[in-house]
Amino acid sequence: MNFAIYVFDGISMFHAAAPLSVFGEAAKLPAASDWTLTVWSDTGSPVRTAEGVELAALSGPEALDVADVVVIPSWHSDFRPVEGWFREGVSRAHTNGAQVVGLCLGAFPLAASGILDGRAAVTHWSGAEELARSFPRVQVAADALYMDHGDVLTSAGTASGLDACLHFVRTQLGAEHAAAVAQKLVIAPHRDGGQAQYIRRPMPTPSEHGPMSDLLEWIVANLEHSLTVETLAARTQMSTRNFTRRFREATGTSPARWIAARRLDEGRRLLETTGWTIDRIARTCGFASPVTFRQSFAAAFSTTPTSYRKRFSHAA
């Protein structure tokens, strides 16, 4: 099985190294003795990484014609258009039976080639909106770590490329061999959760100062209380109907959704910065019970509060 791994001027060393490390380590296994890695660039000329390191001894686009797996580890951060020859070469390789892998922003050239039309795909969270805008026929799954359709695999940002490559090894060679590769690289053989847990969503602010702005600050400071629409409307001396309309104008969403998001944000903060029990965090954030907190957290971030804490806690 021949892997054609694309590099370009400005690619980060990490993005280039992720598939090379995983597939290169897998190729050392007896079960993958026929795996070979070819690194190629637009012309076959050397490229310089974002860190200033030159990558040389590269193949050119002809590598696509003999590839069993085409890997695009990333793409230009300015989301520049994909040239016609590149689109056609990747599409032709796919038509000829090659599996295609787009890691991080590498989903963009796959989308430009038409391979992702009508399919769900994922990219780095910072590029998800641009991918959806530029390629409306692609169903952007913004919160997944990776999406596999068998012939097409896409992943979220940076380290998620390692997850996707290990997943590929698992599908080709089995869980035992994927675990052996992960052990060699000292990384987890499988991570739970999606990239939603890594996205920092700033608190929406109202479009104008005044009672609504004061209320939003008060809500954040009083999440442990029951915050019904009736209670909030009375606090701003509005009817519930007028309050709901004004709240949506200010925040872009309903009071219930906005408060639920703030409670989850506070829950994440407390998981990261304190050693409090889940029960105490749930109570402080205004959830009816620890079970409700766990269910809401898992639905929002595709992981459990305990797993999230293990990954992100920096409490003393």
- Rounded CA separation 72/10 (Å): 14
For 211-312, the fitting CATH number among 1.20.1730.10, 3.40.50.300, 2.120.10.30, 1.10.10.60 is 1.10.10.60
* % of the chain exceeding 70 in pLDDT: 93
Find, among 200, 18, 8, the residue nearest to 103 by Cα.
18
So what's the pLDDT on residue 197?
63
Pick 100 or 142 by higher pLDDT. 100
Does residue 42 contact residue 36 with C-beta atoms inside 8 Å?
Answer: no
Neighbours of 8 (CB within 10 A): 20
Tokens of 60: 């050119």
Strands (E), 107-230: 120-121, 139-140, 146-148, 152-155
Does residue 232 contact residue 255 with C-beta atoms inside 8 Å?
Answer: yes
So what's the pLDDT on residue 208?
46
Measuring CA to CA, how many Å separate 48 from each of 8, 53, 104?
8, 5, 19
pTM, two decimals, is 0.68
Question: What CATH code would you report for 2-195?
Answer: 3.40.50.880
**How high is the mean pLDDT of the chain?**
90
Residue 36 burial by Cβ neighbours in a 10 Å radius (0-12, 13-18, 19+):
middle
Domain boundaries, the chain: 2-195, 211-312
For 224-280, how does the pLDDT look when each residue is reduced to its tens digit (9 = 90+)? Answer: 999 999 999 999 999 999 999 989 888 878 999 999 989 998 998 899 889 999 999
